[in-house]
Structures are given as structure tokens and as C-alpha cells.
Amino acid sequence: MLLKILQTISLLAVLVVLFILKEAGFFHKINPHFDGSEIVIESAAGVEDIVTDLENADVYFSSHDRRNFETTGMLFKASVMDENLDLNPILPKELPFPFRPHGISLFKTEDGNKYLFVVNHEDDLNSIIRFRVFDDSLVFEKRFVHEQIKFPNDVQAIGLNSFYITNDHTIPNGLRRFLGDFLLEKSGNVVFFQDGDASVVSQNIAYPNGINISPDKKYLYVAATTENKLYVYSHTQDFGPRKILDQKYLWTAPDNIEIDKFGDLWIGCHPKLLKYLGHAKDISKNSPSEVIKVVYQPGTKHKFLQEEVYMNDGNPISGSSVASYFITDTSNTLLIGSVFEEKVVKLHRNL
């Protein structure tokens, strides 16, 4: 009897290990490819998020040296049309708080004013910062602080005083959180803020990361990194729970979500999470980078179309976290940023 119990426990342990390895991409084959040309552009460390203004080709970059947390981060601006992608710093010289940016979101008002919302990791708390965007600079306008801003990763602006955030965890750093990530503990959530109030509108998500909204404002997209999933919710302006409309298993660990002019999703991914963890601790260790394009077609039989646009083995860029795509009638540009690297990759697809 004891032998059977031990055999059962051993079998369960093996199955758990295999499940963890599968979800972490251990069995994911890496076949580097891209149909087009690419150039590597030096940058500040950790251009983790990129947002492109699809109307005028301006690009905004969030940068922080995450291996040296105490350092101050930076926001940059460039133009997709600039072949060399000259990244110009636009952060105000003095801010009344520590500045370490993470996810960013660009919001435009009906009268044409533009605002950049930024997830900010301060010393003892986290916040969302709103900047007014001018031609070559930002002006600090407002700092949002709330008890529901626990461990924010990304932000999606809806209005001047309304936005979503993803809390990739709701429990503090420690052994439980570390083990929970491997066991897909669903401790993350999505929070909606409006006019000073906040409400958890979706919870029980394992590492919710990137968040974005469809151009028609019907659908809210959330990337669940350790679940390898993309969730689609209905968007409303109230504080009630958001209805899950669809979900897609991506076979890779998604990070930030950007949306092109057609409403299609471009996602920077980590196909090998264990290698990514190694890369996070040791700059000399490479981590494969991947970009996927997802087309959401809710009115069709096949609701999701997924295409692997780019894959590398960690060279020339490791730990891809974001992919932003800009296309015109005569050209196209794909920008890839990463969590730690001092570079951005600029690519042109052969269409």
C-alpha cells in the first residue's frame, strides 16, 4: 500500500514538473526567422514599452535599468520615419518623486491634446503619472496614488482621469510569490480607475502583464504571461466586473500588447521563460525573443488568427517585451524593445 502511495506521489510530482516546464517554454523549439531587414540601434537600458502614435509616426519609449533599480529611468521620443531612430529624452528635468517607468499608454482628447500615462515604481509605493505631450517635451500634470495600485505592470488610458492597470501580483515579493509564478498562482488582477475611485474588474489571473483596448473601445485585451494566454474582455465605463468574452492560448509567454492601424495585436513574447529568468540575473546569458501578431475576429468561426512574425535565439536582442508596428502605403516599421537590453531593433518587413 505504501509503495503504491509513493508511486502515485512520484507520478504526480513528475506531471507537475512537466507541466511547469511546458508552460515555461522548455519544449518550445527556437527557429530564428524574419522576412525582412533589421538594424540594431543603441539605446538606454531597458526600453520595456513602446507606444506609436499611428497618426503622425511619433514613438514614445519607456526606459529603466532594472538591474540597478535605484537609478532614474527615462522617457524618449523619436519618429518612425527617422532611419536612425534618434531617441530624444523628453522627461522633465525635475520631478517631485523618484521616476522608474514601466508600462506606458498614449491618450488623445477630442480636441487633439495628447497625454502619456506611465506606470511608475517609486521607493515605497507605485503610482500612475500623467504627462501632457508637447512637440519635444513632456509636462508633468498629475500623479495617481491608490491602495489598489499594488504591483502595477502596464496601464491603458481611457480618459484624462480614467484608466486600467494590470497588477501582475497582489502579494509581495518572497518565496510564495516566486513559487506561485511557477505553479501559475492567479494572484494578479485588472483594476479600473475613474475620477479617484477604483475597482478590481477582473481577478484570478496569473501574471497579467500588457493591456490594451481595441480602436472601437469594445474589447479590452490582457496578456497573462505565465499562463501563455490572451484574454479578451468587454469594456464598459462602470466599476462592475468585466465579462470575459474570449481567451486564446498562445504557446508563448506574452508581455506588452500594441495595436496597429487595422486593430491587430502585436505582442512581444518570451518563448523561453527559464532562459529569460537567467538573462534577468546575468547579462551574459541570452534569452530568445519573439513577436507574434494576433487578429481577433469575434464574428467568425476561427476567432483568433496567430502569426509568428519574428523569432531569434537571443541575438541581436534578448528578452523582448514589446513590438510596435507602423505601416503606410509605401513602408512599414516594426520596433522591438526589451526588459534589460541597451538597444532597440528596427525592422522592415517584406510584404
pLDDT digits (tens, 9 = 90+) for 25-69: 655 689 999 999 999 999 999 999 999 999 999 999 999 999 999
Between CA 16 and CA 21, with CA 20 as vertex, the angle to 5 degrees is 115
- pLDDT band of residue 176 (cuts 50, 70, 90) is confident
- Cα gap 209→216, rounded to integer Å: 22
- Cα gap 127→201, rounded to integer Å: 19
**Of 28, 102, 169, 235, which one is the catalytic site residue?**
102
Mean pLDDT to the nearest integer, 246-266? 98
- pLDDT band of residue 173 (cuts 50, 70, 90) is confident
Q: Is 254 exposed, middle or buried (0-12, 13-18, 19+ CB in 10 A)?
A: buried
Cell of 72: 532614474
* pTM score: 0.94
Residue 29: its pLDDT value, please? 83
Residue 169 is among the residues annotated as catalytic for this protein: no
With CA atoms as reference, report the closest residue to 75 among 111, 106, 36, 113.
106
H or E segment at 277? helix 273-281
- Cα gap 157→144, rounded to integer Å: 12
- pLDDT band of residue 227 (cuts 50, 70, 90) is very high
What dotted CATH number matches 2-349? 2.120.10.30
Q: Is 341 exposed, middle or buried (0-12, 13-18, 19+ CB in 10 A)?
A: buried
Residue 128: its pLDDT value, please? 99
